[in-house]
Structure 1
Amino acid sequence: MSSPPSLEPALVAMRQLATQAAAGTGATNPTGPVAAGGFAGELRASIERINDLQMNSKEKGMAFQAGDPEITLNELMIDKQKASVAFQFGLQVRNRLVTAYRDVMNMQV
């Protein structure tokens, strides 16, 4: 039976997203966003970043449909793909967290 892949790459990516989100909102903390809000804060920042990508993609799609000459099809497709990949990543992180929670709950003392 093979062991499940490590969550470390996902956590590193979430930390990067949280750092980007903190930098984008102007939040300053010398010890970083992880020390400020812990895991819950980092998770919230990651979810907000995914939501921002999806909202930006939706807005560009509506502008493109309305005939905005500044929005190209290439830009729109790239933004849609970024939003899709971010959502799928978030979904996989959630699935791993649920699995880890179930494993911990099923441990015998």
Structure 2
Amino acid sequence: MKVNGLQAEMQAMKLEASNASRPATGQQVSADFGAMLGDAIKGVNQLQSQSSELATRFDQGDRSVSLSDVMIARNKSSVAFEATVQVRNKMVEAYKELMNMPV
């Protein structure tokens, strides 16, 4: 997960939000958020798959894969997974807070 790519994606989202001429409905926001969350989870899955593949190649003796490559990939996937878990925890917390609000 490159920082420049993430920053570019965030800037594109900011530009898209500022160019919205009409307010989005709840269904549109929900669909956009769901798609964004799905893409993020797919990205985490891809990082974990790459990490696993590099570890397997290193274990099999592939000389093009160094131990540092394996460790960096493993740490990237670990950080991405932890971030995803934290986002999930915040979403559950927000949901519980909404459910406890008096109507």
- What TM-score do the two structures reach when normalised by structure 1? 0.68
Aligned residues: 83
Cα deviation for residue 71 of structure 1 reads: 0.2
Aligned to 1:100: 94
> How far apart are 1:59 and its partner, in Å?
0.3
Correspondence for 1:64: 58
- Look up the SS of the partner of 1:52 in the other structure: helix
Give unpaired runs (5+ residues) of structure 1.
1-12, 21-30
CA deviation after TM superposition for structure 1 residue 40, in Å:
0.3
Cα RMSD of the aligned pairs, angstroms, is: 2.7
2:42 to 45, 48, 57: 48
What per-residue deviation string (whole Å, max 9, x for no partner) do you get for residues 62-91 of structure 1? 000000000000111000000000000000
Structure 1, residues 16-49: CA drift from partner, whole Å, max 9, x if none? 39x49xxxxxxxxxx59x98x5100000000000
Select the residue among 70, 74, 81 that pairs with 1:87.
Answer: 81
The aligned runs of 1:3-82 (5 Å cut-off) are 16=6, 19=9, 31=16, 37-82=31-76
Q: Equivalents in 2 of 1:68, 1:95: separation in Å?
A: 39
> CA separation in 2, counterparts of 1:75 and 1:56?
11
